[in-house]
Amino acid sequence: MSSEVRLFIDGAEFRVPAGISVAAALRHAGYEATRRAFDASPRAAFCGMGVCFECRVRIDGSERLGCLERVTDDMDIRCDA
């Protein structure tokens, strides 16, 4: 098993440690916020456990929670959920 995976965030390529959550991968990639609220205020992971839905992103086309999903090779993550 390789210790890194390669994935894409908003179209750009990143390498992150294998086995981490998508939320953690976004932080590794330098993202502070991963979502905008109605008033455009920035939001990011908050509860860490699938309760608040603040960490939602689009993964390979469908809306998922970044804190519950693990990174996989060639994953396509988009911060427009």
Partner 1 sequence: MPELRTEILVIGAGPAGIAAAVSAERAGARALLVDMQAEPGGQIWRGQWARPTLAPARQWLDALRGSPVDARYGLRLVDFAEPGLAVFDTAQGAVRVRCERLVIATGARERQLPFPGWTLPGVFGAGGLQVLVKNGWPVKGRRVVVAGSGPLLLAAAATLRAAGAEIACIAEQRRTRDLARFALSLAPNPGKCLQAAILRTKLAGVPYRRNAWVERADGAGRVESICLRRGARSERIECDALAVGFGLVPNTEIARLLGCALHDGAVVVDEHQHSSVPGVYCAGEICGIGGVDQALVQGEIAGRAAAGAATASFRLNIARSRSAHFARALRDAFVLRDELRNLAGDDTLLCRCENVTFAQVRGCRSQREARLHARLGMGHCQARICGAAGEFLFGWDAEATVRPPLAPSRLSCFTVVRSESTRQESP
Q: What residues line the site for ligand FAD (CB under 6 A)? A: 48-50
Q: Half-sphere exposure (CA, 13 Å, Cβ side) for 32?
A: 2
Six token digits for residue 69: 């999903």
Cα-Cα end-to-end distance for the chain: 31
Question: Does the protein bind partner 1 through residue 41 (CB under 8 A)?
Answer: yes
Give the Cβ contact number of residue 62 at 10 Å: 7
- The option from partner 1, ligand FES, ligand FAD, none interacting with 44 (CB < 5 to 8 A, set by class) reads partner 1
Our CB check for ligand FES shows the closer of 15 and 43 to be: 43
Q: Where on the chain is the footprint of partner 1 (CB under 8 A)? A: 17, 19-21, 23-25, 27-28, 32-33, 37-39, 41-54, 56, 59, 62-64, 67-70
